[in-house]
Amino acid sequence: MKRFLLFLPLLLFALMVLLFKAMLGHDPSALDLARKGQPFPAFSLTELRDENRMVTHGDLRGQPMLVNVWATWCPACRTEHPELLRIAASEGIAVIGLNYKDDRKAAVAWLEKLGDPYRFTIFDPDGRLGLDLGVYGAPETYVVDADGVLLYRHVGVVDQQVWREKLQPLLAGLDGSSSGDRTASAGGMSPAPVTAGREQ
Amino acid sequence: MNRAMNSALPGSWSVSLARLVPVFLLVLAMGARAGVEVYDFSSDEGYARYQQLTFELRCPKCQNQNIADSNAEISRDLRKEVHRLIEEGRSDREIVAYMVERYGDFVHYRPPVDASTLILWAGPVVLVVVGVAAVLWWGRRRRRLQPDSSDPLMPDERSRLDLLLNAGQHAPPDAVRSGKVAPAAAPGDRLPSTATSQSGTRFGSAPDH
């Protein structure tokens, strides 16, 4: 018993090391996606470049995609822009823009200048859709599956590492695999909305 | 430099500048007012509920501020939303549910009891119970091991004290009298060095027994 006590500090230290290691990549300010496993919230808004064209949640279907929340007032959005361009061009993933609480002219000018990675961009000047999604700061990037179900949210800049470690594995699990694999890769989400309408 | 410029101004200039001061103040005041949102409530009760709700809802961006206190853009939006929902006639419970649906349990300062928050709710109670149990156990053990209640010392403490006292008796008398507990710590002693080191060693090793 006495001998065991001698090892107690070492054991405590080992436990602390494990705990620190587990929390090392953890960002306490990143909130979990409240609507995880639920369909993308319903909306009907104009397209950024074409104000006569309406886009809705029905347009976010048919294939897995990324929905990127951005604005011209957001410096970090500029940082991640080249990576979004790369993902859209060379990874074959559809990236949809959600222009959040922004000015239409400024946003279009931004895309003209920096390049446009988006299939289309939802224009949400009042932040209503952002509120329904639970956006609390740009940039945020959502992973939506082919049935329009929200699977994951990344808060902050999307860079090579985020793509490689978080987004790509998740999206790879969605492409051409059985629904069983898909729920596994989505990590603990409820399987009900995913299996529905899978045979297409 | 400044002086030269001032003197270069015609007299009428400085007069009109002085007249403009109220205008400047007015512009400043308008700027200050723009930072505060003004909401009209159809009832005093709605206003009271707004105050209560914005006090209880937590700003998702700033970790530890409620949305009433926070100047973050998102808090402004949520305050606006709370106002809108109150005016729509939604109940407090519905408004909180609305926010939780979008931002998760984080948005409310009173988390619900479930598997992930159990440690928050039960932790303090468990700690108090464990602490009280430990104190009781210690006290009982002490009473059991200490048959003679007139002696404030435990048996092992008593034997250790005896040992220390015996060690003190072997120490040089003048060192003990002068208040130096450890005779080895008195370098000025004219005693033979062997005696000093011997008693010192004995004293030092005593607590280990």
What are the pLDDT digits (tens) for A124-159? 999 999 999 999 888 999 999 999 999 999 999 999
CB contacts of B101 in chain A (<8 Å) are 34-35
CB contacts of B78 in chain A (<8 Å) are 131
Average pLDDT over residues B186-195: 47
- What is the predicted pLDDT for the residue at A138? 85
Q: How far apart are CA B147 and CA B51, in angstroms?
A: 64
pLDDT over 90 (residue B125): yes
The CA–CA distances, whole Å, from B42 to A117, A183, B39, B46, B87 equal 46, 48, 10, 7, 7
pLDDT top residue among A91 and A26: A91
Contact: A136, B104; criterion CB under 8 Å: no
pLDDT over 90 (residue A11): yes
Note whether B88 contacts A: Cβ–Cβ < 8 A.
no
Q: How many CB pairs under 8 A join A and B?
A: 35
- Amino acid residing at B195: A
Q: How far apart are CA B118 and CA B130, in angstroms?
A: 17
The CA–CA distances, whole Å, from B112 to A31, B9, B109 equal 17, 70, 10
Is pTM beyond 0.90? Reply is no
Q: How does residue B200 score in pLDDT terms, banded at 50, 70 and 90?
A: very low
Average pLDDT over residues A176-200: 40
Note whether B106 contacts A: Cβ–Cβ < 8 A.
yes
CB contacts of B60 in chain A (<8 Å) are 31, 134, 136
- When mean pLDDT is compared across A86-100, B72-86, B167-181, the lowest value belongs to B167-181
Model ipTM? 0.75
- What is the predicted pLDDT for the residue at B184? 47
Q: How far apart are CA B195 and CA B186, in angstroms?
A: 12
- Mutation site for B-interface testing, chosen from A129, A131, A133, A136 by largest number of B Cβ within 10 Å: A136
Is residue B82 classed as helix, strand or coil in its secondary structure? helix
